[in-house]
Amino acid sequence: MKNDERPLIACPQCDLLMREIPLPSKGAACCCRCGATLYRNLPDSLNRSLAFSISSAILFIIVNSFPLLGINLQGNANAVTLLQAVQSLWDQGMHLVSSLTFITAIFVPALEMGLMLYLLVPIRIGLVPPGVSPIMRLLQIIKPWGMVEVFMLGILVSLVKLVQDFRIIPGVALWSFVGLTVMLAAVASSFNPRDIWAHLDKDNDGKID
């Protein structure tokens, strides 16, 4: 392909207009004016993101079914699941803080995983699910609000604070939460939106090579 026929690309951070260049496997194209990463060539991105999405969905279900942490003080014990923690704060009248935790640590991660599976499972078996564009847009909007890795740090800080006064009983969900954090990071680094669009283009007119 001659240089002048390659597709145009505009940098999302400085709007410089460039032509796409072919990339080696695992390579990344950067904007030559501001250095922003424009796109990456991730081998086997659809299969990998699907595998990681399924693992994170399973871990997410485990995380939400078992107590995260328990404490024990002279025989008096208390343990909560993630959802119970949110519920307890809501009952204490802290509605904003409770909703914030619910949205960023439960709702958005769940929605993100659900949408990823809705997109990737049909594409994997050769179909195009309806509503790809609005879903890609939605994924883009909600992405900054999924904060599982920050919550993980929150658990660690809480542990350090609690360990002085209480005996800690780590729950099943705690270990699953570590796994969930890792899996969601793997999804984020393996998912390549360009592959989804390329797949759509192929399906629509067959002109894209």
Partner 1 sequence: MIDPASSAAAQGFCACHVCGLVVPMHNEESPARCPRCNTTLRFRKPDSMMRCWALLIAAYLFYLPANLLTMMETGTLISYRKDTILSGIIHLWNNGNPGIAVIVFIASIMVPIFKLIVLTLLLLSVRRGSRWGLKHRIQLYRIVEMVGRWSMLDIYVLTILAALVQIQSMATVKAGTGSIFFGAVVVLTMFAAMEFDPRMMWDSLREKESV
Residues forming the site for partner 1 (CB under 8 A): 4, 7-10, 12-19, 33-36, 39, 68-71, 73-74, 76, 78-80, 84-86, 88-89, 92, 94, 96-98, 100-101, 104-105, 132-133, 136-137, 140, 144, 147, 150-151, 153-155, 157-158, 160-162, 164-166, 193-194, 197, 200-201
Number of residues that bind Zn ion (CB under 5 A): 8
Task: Give the residue among 178, 187, 142 at the shortest CA–CA distance from 63.
Answer: 178
Report how far residue 29's alpha carbon sits from residue 39's, in angstroms, rounded to the nearest whole number. Answer: 5
CA 125 to chain CA mean position, Å:
22
11 touches Zn ion (CB under 5 A): yes
Q: Which is nearer to partner 1, 9 or 121 (CB)?
A: 9
37 Ramachandran zone, left/alpha/beta (phi>0; psi -120 to 50)? beta
Report how far residue 136's alpha carbon sits from residue 126's, in angstroms, rounded to the nearest whole number. Answer: 18
139 touches Zn ion (CB under 5 A): no
3 binds, among Zn ion, partner 1, none (CB under 5 to 8 A by kind): none
Output the six-digit token pair for 3.
Answer: 């240089």
CB neighbours (10 Å) of residue 181?
A: 20
Report how far residue 128's alpha carbon sits from residue 182's, in angstroms, rounded to the nearest whole number. Answer: 29
36 touches Zn ion (CB under 5 A): yes
Q: Which is nearer to partner 1, 13 or 65 (CB)?
A: 13
Residues contributing to the site for Zn ion (CB under 5 A): 11, 13-14, 16, 31, 33-34, 36
